[in-house]
Structure 1
């Protein structure tokens, strides 16, 4: 299988985490013709990343790809067996994709500025407070689908706060969760390659002194 991606993309890193967890082999290519190009939108009409090529088929949208991988490669499982716990994992994943990540992304344009915009920063702070409560409902399993996006977004938040000279942003359950996740071998492997790329990307947005 082949993953169309760009190295620093949050959602591409999300999928790589799942693929590492499932011990899959894959190749990785940039979108043909570049992101949003006519050549790429001929394959993926929305032009979004990531996309996964499996044989003659292409699957777009990170959540659809994650569900496909979970169903086609069920071991090791990234969803619990209990139906209610599966629903809780999916709810946490939706919280990330529709609530937390958009607030993280809204601050991308503030990277390189002395301070983030107050309104956008406050919205992120509110989502992080909500995440504290959401994690209390996370099923007690080592790793699940929802973790893939959360781990990467929390890395973005950590690096953005650092770029603004702010203290580490997480406390309580969120801090414990991030620390526990980073101890997992497949998470450590992905962050080991992703963190330098993210650091370099942030440097390109930061004015030279």
Structure 2
């Protein structure tokens, strides 16, 4: 049985107007910055760890080119949906895989375990589950773990699903050690660097 997300989580934008975008969302939504570095910013307007994220194309491609400045290079990168549990996320993965739909990137961001999919028009979406409950995600995004590794560590969903079905507690899968290496990122940032 297909597992459905329980809520819309966030949207990520690619921009060449990084500071302006942050200021606009702070003004319009009353959002606050949860985490920011020269390339990424995460903002929220409620108790969710982030509702908006911005990828700074000017920091990735400071000089700009006809290709990086073309229409479509900026705008929505992906939208994200939260699942109720790690089991729901992984069983949904298995159900979709059986139907020929697989994620192009699976990464544990620290605050979420996430699977990224692309629809037939190449719109990207993230299916995620929070790694912590309550205010712990907010504490993580504002803390040292985020600063040490703001992107995350890739994971094998087949391995996670096998461990879960063998009886491993969900909590064992959701905890990421911050000293693990940063993901080589086959998806998200590679895509940004190509635009």
TM range (shorter): under 0.3
TM-score relative to the length of structure 2:
0.27
TM-score by length of 1: 0.26
The structure with the greater share of residues assigned to strand is 2
